[in-house]
Structure 1
Amino acid sequence: MRSRLAPALVAPALVLGAALPATAAEPRPDTAGATAPASPSAQDIVDALPKSVYTGALIRRDGVGATMGPVVPDAYFRIGSTTKIFTQTVVLQLVAERRIGLDTPVRAYLPTLVPAMYERVTVGRLLDHTSGFPRPARTPGPDDGAGWWLRSVTPTGLLSASFAAAADRSETPPEPGSVQQYNGLNAFALGLIVEKVTGHSFTHELRHRIIRPLGLRHTSLPAADDPTIPSPHARVYVDGDEVTEQSPYPWAEGGMISTAADLDRFLTALFRGRLLPPAQQKLVFAVPHASSATTNTSCADGKACFSIGGLMRYKLPNGQSVWGKTGSRPGWDNGFFATRDLGHRVVYSLNPTGADSGITYIQRILIASLMD
């Protein structure tokens, strides 16, 4: 699932315009000693969103929520690729237990799925998106609106189809570790490795390791044949057609459903080191020394921005880095971000009309929510 932020993270488009309230800033010489403006509240940020771009919105800033349109604060939503952070946290827990090795080749776990030409790709390269795996393949059949994901495709089937399609194109993968290319295929492989080493379903491990210990009572990974979403939830549309109940986005890559409060709790626990021991906690924020395939990721200036823990490093206009993840499904644009010290954090779920890409507004939400 591609990121919902623009290829350049720090650009003139990021300047906070009149559409959102001003954030606190260093006083100018002629206003030295004046009281800095208060940071905008979640309600301020929601109220500034254009209704021509969003039919509904939910923003939770520093634990306080606000909504726009027919959305309630405890609404459920499909979190899309934000699922990857849950997946990678489970993998890092298994690394801590020495059941998965960061430097172990992926083929050691999935020998019949991963071709020999990828024999030097390690688990660590899956985690930081420098595996060089091919893009997920489109497979024949009716598209369900998720692009390359079809109802009949299994995780193993998608990997097999993707490697076969790359072979048909005579693709030569980049050197493992050299280029960061945000790629959902990595998450499918990670989910399959979790199942291989534990002997349990990925869903079981997710519940056992994260959902139940944190008390995330409104978070789940639906079965592949379950298109429903719990109530309350927004009704979402694409091109005039309702897509609220849709075939779930795939599994360990982007299939989860949650709420803003649950995601806030997960984000806080992850940043505070409640889910991982110290050695693996450092990896949550460790970004590889690699170039970025900027046409495929949200990394700026040709530099990698996704960490081994799966978090995106996003630079605010004041130079401060914040960390989080975006995720989208037809009808939903979601994400969560926070400062490293959790001084500020934000969870958002937006329901786009399709009249605008919405990327600029997502960037503005982050700036307004996370800058002092």
Structure 2
Amino acid sequence: MHIVAAGLFAAATGTTDVLAAPARAAAGAPARSATTGRTLHVGTMQAALDDIAATAAVGVLAEVNDGAQVWKGASGVARLGTRQPVSAEGRFRVGSITKCFIAAVVLQLAGEGRLTLDDTLQRWLPGILPDGSRITVRQLLQHTSGVVNYTNAASFRAVYRSEADIVRMRNRTWTPRELVTFVDDLPLLFEPGSSWEYSNTNFVLLGMVVERVTGVHYAAEVRRRILRPLGLLHTRVPGANPVLAGVHPHGYLAVEHDGVDQPVDITVFNPSVAGASGEMTSTAKDLNIFFRALVDGRLLGPAEQEQMKIAHATRRDYQYGLGLMTRSTLGGTRLWGHRGEIFGYYAESWTAEDNGRQLTVAVTPWGDIDPKVAITELVETVFES
């Protein structure tokens, strides 16, 4: 059988997001700082990518950066049926890593006094949800709002019942309000602030809040506040544009035909179904630049930086701050970053504390092995070698 990157549907089966986290190091494990200057074990890292491509993906690319040294690697092919190699500088869909960009914009607005983290959803989006007066911006950022994940809603899954439906609906444009409508008549999962549950709806709502506060679309704010200042020339907020521009690996879904899973190219896909929760595209280099700036405090004021890193316990292998995951390796190195998945693509980006080493890796899943397990092992290799 083939492991299918079901993307937005992953949450319903107990995995995360648009994520799937193998059980590894406990989220509360002691942390230590990663030091720069270690030798990058190029052969070991390339062998790990080769293994991922051989068992779990059409192709894989990665960049490791510790400030003094940069290593870029790739393996597999960019497109099935060809010998075209994967470019280590190729663009890919980042899925829920988008949330980190949205969170950075919201926290900047908080630092400017244009909103507060304790503002209610009702203040900025009156009537959007029946319980909007009980839900705060902070709770949306941290997934403690109790709002149902729209991609888990029965009404959403009635539309996207299978991979074949994903392909059939690939050109459909969704508005943020339409996505919220999937859950606006559903009760909260828990009292806001009392528990934690990953929900893409939270960040769709935050995108709408950014627009209400600033008067412009959240994509414009991401470009103005993050992409341009950091020089992220290969990162896009595509909206309804289905084209993955530039050099890129192709993503696939397994669509059943006559009882056999057949790969269907899903690279051209309208990502508005993910919106502010997962629509962006980028490169490994750009994501490393972004997360270095975010973790080091160059994008946020001290107060907002402190709030972002207050992490809430989850039932996963990570804790969750304000739009940012944190976890520890088996050796105790504290990492900050995020995972992201959307149809045909899976990516992780991690930065060690205190100006430490970074890893961004992206795969186009296809094989008998879940690539997330192999990537967990790659993370250990990179940060503990």
Q: 1:84 aligns with which of 99, 104, 113?
A: 99
Contact kept? 1:79, 1:258, Cα under 8 Å: yes
Q: CA deviation at 1:100?
A: 1.2
Question: Relative to structure 1, is the Cα distance of residues 172 and 218 closer, same or farther in structure 2, using a 3 angstrom cutoff?
Answer: closer
Equivalence map 1:330-349=2 (5 Å): 330-349=343-362
The superposition leaves residues 262-311 of structure 1 with CA deviations (integer Å, 9 ceiling, x where unpaired) of 111111111221111111111221113xx53x3xxx346xxxx1102x11
How many residue pairs are counted as aligned between the two chains?
329
Equivalent residue number for residue 246 of structure 1: 269
Distance 2:354 2:243 in 1: 36
TM-score, normalised by the number of residues in structure 1: 0.82
Distance 1:65 1:306 in 2: 28
Q: CA deviation at 1:39?
A: 5.2
Distance 1:344 1:160 in 2: 41
Contact kept? 2:295, 2:336, Cα under 8 Å: no
Equivalent residue number for residue 280 of structure 2: 256
Q: CA deviation at 1:354?
A: 4.1
Equivalent residue number for residue 242 of structure 2: 227
Equivalent residue number for residue 326 of structure 2: 313
Contact kept? 2:56, 2:368, Cα under 8 Å: yes
The one-letter code matched in structure 2 to 1:59 is A
Q: CA deviation at 1:152?
A: 4.2
1:213 alignment partner, SS class: helix
1:46 has 2:49 as partner: yes
Contact kept? 1:79, 1:257, Cα under 8 Å: yes
Q: CA deviation at 1:153?
A: 2.9
Contact kept? 2:349, 2:359, Cα under 8 Å: yes
Contact kept? 2:56, 2:367, Cα under 8 Å: yes
Equivalence map 1:142-157=2 (5 Å): 145=166, 151-157=172-178
1:204 alignment partner, SS class: helix
Worse overlay, 359-368 or 81-90: 359-368
Equivalent residue number for residue 19 of structure 1: none
Q: CA deviation at 1:330?
A: 1.8
Q: CA deviation at 1:65?
A: 0.7
The one-letter code matched in structure 2 to 1:204 is A
Contact kept? 1:236, 1:242, Cα under 8 Å: yes
The one-letter code matched in structure 1 to 2:115 is I
Equivalent residue number for residue 74 of structure 2: 67
Greater helix proportion: 2
Equivalence map 1:1-372=2 (5 Å): 1=8, 2-6=17-21, 8-10=23-25, 40-41=41-42, 42-62=45-65, 63-69=70-76, 70-115=85-130, 117-136=131-150, 137=153, 138-139=155-156, 141=159, 145=166, 151-164=172-185, 166=186, 171-224=187-240, 226-239=241-254, 240-248=263-271, 249-288=273-312, 292=314, 294=315, 298-299=316-317, 305-308=319-322, 310-372=323-385
Distance 1:161 1:112 in 2: 15
Contact kept? 2:53, 2:75, Cα under 8 Å: no
Question: Relative to structure 1, is the Cα distance of residues 312 and 150 closer, same or farther in structure 2, using a 3 angstrom cutoff?
Answer: farther
Contact kept? 2:308, 2:324, Cα under 8 Å: yes
Equivalent residue number for residue 14 of structure 2: none
Distance 1:53 1:306 in 2: 27
Q: CA deviation at 1:190?
A: 0.5
Distance 2:55 2:289 in 1: 31
The one-letter code matched in structure 2 to 1:107 is Q
The superposition leaves residues 188-239 of structure 1 with CA deviations (integer Å, 9 ceiling, x where unpaired) of 0100000001001111111110011111110111131x21111211122211
Contact kept? 2:160, 2:166, Cα under 8 Å: no
2:98 alignment partner, SS class: helix
Q: CA deviation at 1:370?
A: 1.4
Equivalent residue number for residue 26 of structure 1: none
The superposition leaves residues 322-361 of structure 1 with CA deviations (integer Å, 9 ceiling, x where unpaired) of 1110001222110100111132110001111142222211
**Identity over aligned residues, as a percent?**
33
Distance 1:156 1:265 in 2: 32
Question: Relative to structure 1, is the Cα distance of residues 114 and 147 closer, same or farther in structure 2, using a 3 angstrom cutoff?
Answer: farther
2:182 alignment partner, SS class: helix
Q: CA deviation at 1:177?
A: 1.2
Q: CA deviation at 1:142?
A: 5.8
Distance 1:123 1:146 in 2: 34
Contact kept? 2:53, 2:60, Cα under 8 Å: no
The one-letter code matched in structure 1 to 2:55 is S
Q: CA deviation at 1:85?
A: 0.2
- Across the aligned residues of Structure 1 and Structure 2, the Cα RMSD in angstroms comes to 2.3
Worse overlay, 310-319 or 261-270: 310-319
Equivalent residue number for residue 27 of structure 1: none
